[in-house]
Structure 1
């Protein structure tokens, strides 16, 4: 397997969906909670990245094995069939990456406390159930919620917790503060999966995957895509007004014209290769600028 094929198998281009919420958590830990642990952050980064790659490999593996459209999707679309990768090799990589991530996670639990174990179990469960089992989350109308909540909020929550271990307030008030700062990332990650499901609407129907688009249709899916982009920017304004983030994070609002342009392109045409990257760009630019502008204020 070549490096290019491996990077596509683990969907390396989508890793910003987990890395940037983690970095945002580090920023909030330093700015708002005045706490930071370099060792804990590095360990969490490695474990998170390994398991994220395992989940994406598992997604491709399960889609390959469960494909109903064996002539086109399985042989020509799915990377395992298209690149003639051994399914046994993919399964072995999934197992190795997951075990290493779990071992690092257990070591972190020893360092920071038992709450991390429950947070980690939740994230592992969502990652495994995302494409596995009789009713995988990515084939159900709840996929957008779980992907956004887990990668956008839970990763940031863990990032804050491991930097403030031993003195973390588990009150609802404190959790809502973290959730508000994480909300733009959560919504943009959710929109990434929503855009993917909009583009794959017919393919999902052919493979008996009933995503949210099966129930609400493409038009309402596009309306939801736009609405979540609007809420993301309102959340940024609210977080600054609540003094959970520095004023500099308001500079993120400067990318509104870019987000509007990408949204219009996606509204006009929903084709995987041509317009799905619009959602990827919104997530990448939006989350990256949010992290940078938060960091400037620190």
Structure 2
């Protein structure tokens, strides 16, 4: 616990603030990322309520907790494997810092991640008992992808497919499962409804990779941001936001969702600030507000999306 903080190389003289007690473990969870885990559960469950008029509340809550545990474990694997590969240091931004700044033993972080996976599996057993055992196979695939995102010989996060993988599994798959455990089916409309959330989850990863572009390039990563360059990566991010709102409009025009879904447009200013926050910035700390804005766009949009579905049900 007594590691001395070193100066951030991008901002000489700036040292990360030391953390104490529970704050260390809270930061290790990377709480700003957890919304990407529970927002899709809200969306899938809200649409199930529209279609069937009722939901199984215990299944909803247990699914919610299981997804949060898996996301938190993924963050811990990220912390552990990036440390093992020498990518994280005391001046790194956007990390929990439990290992490199607070002196927590790497194996402690790894075992804690495994324990979160174990708890999620136990919750998954309850979900399967009340829905379908086919979900056990899907759940194990999701957990394997969560581990391989930064673990294994070729981590997904080191390739151009990180955004696509995260968006698919945390958007399409989680929304589909959340709907299925309530209804026993996954119609085409559910997949179409999951696209905006999937895109925004991918946007969170892209914003992270834009911020870390220089360091990732030095470490040999081949992320999408590195392949297209910072300027074009920002354009891709803007395009993802545009497609998200255009797709939402399409859901309304096609009759899949009601005009209440237009409430999601209240999140547009945050998306605009995210894109503007990256333009002209070079240092990771300068880009942190833009990355936070991207994550908040996903959170605000997701909650408003679920709210729009609930208003459709109530009205």
Report the TM-score, using the length of structure 1 for normalisation. Answer: 0.90
Cα offset, 1:74, TM superposition: 2.7
Cα offset, 1:117, TM superposition: 1.8
1:91 equivalent to 2:110? Answer yes
Residue number in structure 2 paired with 1:122: 141
Give the conservation status (yes or no) of the 8 Å contact 1:28–1:245: no
Residue number in structure 2 paired with 1:164: 183
1:224 equivalent to 2:230? Answer no
User: Hey, what's the Cα distance between the residues in 1 that align with 2:256 and 2:141?
Assistant: 26
Q: 2:255 aligns with which of 197, 222, 243?
A: 243
Summarize the Cα distance change of 1:133–1:279 in structure 2 as closer, same or farther, 3 Å threshold. same
Give the conservation status (yes or no) of the 8 Å contact 2:271–2:294: no
Q: 1:140 aligns with which of 156, 159, 171?
A: 159
Correspondences of 1:59-74 after superposition (within 5 Å): 59-67=78-86, 73-74=88-89
Summarize the Cα distance change of 1:98–1:257 in structure 2 as closer, same or farther, 3 Å threshold. closer
Task: Work out the number of aligned pairs and report it.
Answer: 287
Cα offset, 1:256, TM superposition: 2.6
Cα offset, 1:66, TM superposition: 0.9
Give the conservation status (yes or no) of the 8 Å contact 1:119–1:158: no
Residue number in structure 2 paired with 1:190: 202
1:284 equivalent to 2:299? Answer yes
Q: 2:281 aligns with which of 269, 280, 283?
A: 269
User: Hey, what's the Cα distance between the residues in 2 that align with 1:85 and 1:32?
Assistant: 47
User: Hey, what's the Cα distance between the residues in 2 that align with 1:89 and 1:55?
Assistant: 14
Cα offset, 1:35, TM superposition: 4.4
Residue number in structure 1 paired with 2:192: 180
User: Hey, what's the Cα distance between the residues in 1 that align with 2:237 and 2:91?
Assistant: 29
Summarize the Cα distance change of 1:247–1:92 in structure 2 as closer, same or farther, 3 Å threshold. same
Give the conservation status (yes or no) of the 8 Å contact 2:270–2:294: no
User: Hey, what's the Cα distance between the residues in 2 that align with 1:195 and 1:152?
Assistant: 17
Cα offset, 1:297, TM superposition: 2.1
DSSP-derived class of the 1:178 partner: helix
What RMSD, in angstroms, separates the aligned Cα atoms of the two structures? 1.8
User: Hey, what's the Cα distance between the residues in 2 that align with 1:120 and 1:62?
Assistant: 22
Unaligned residue ranges in structure 1 (runs of 5+): none
1:209 equivalent to 2:221? Answer yes
Residue number in structure 2 paired with 1:295: 310
User: Hey, what's the Cα distance between the residues in 2 that align with 1:223 and 1:32?
Assistant: 37
The structure in which a higher percent of residues are helix is 1
DSSP-derived class of the 2:100 partner: helix
Cα offset, 1:154, TM superposition: 0.9
User: Hey, what's the Cα distance between the residues in 2 that align with 1:85 and 1:107?
Assistant: 33
DSSP-derived class of the 2:55 partner: coil
Give the conservation status (yes or no) of the 8 Å contact 1:27–1:291: yes
Report the TM-score, using the length of structure 2 for normalisation. Answer: 0.86
User: Hey, what's the Cα distance between the residues in 1 that align with 2:259 and 2:69?
Assistant: 34
User: Hey, what's the Cα distance between the residues in 2 that align with 1:292 and 1:28?
Assistant: 10
User: Hey, what's the Cα distance between the residues in 1 that align with 2:233 and 2:270?
Assistant: 20
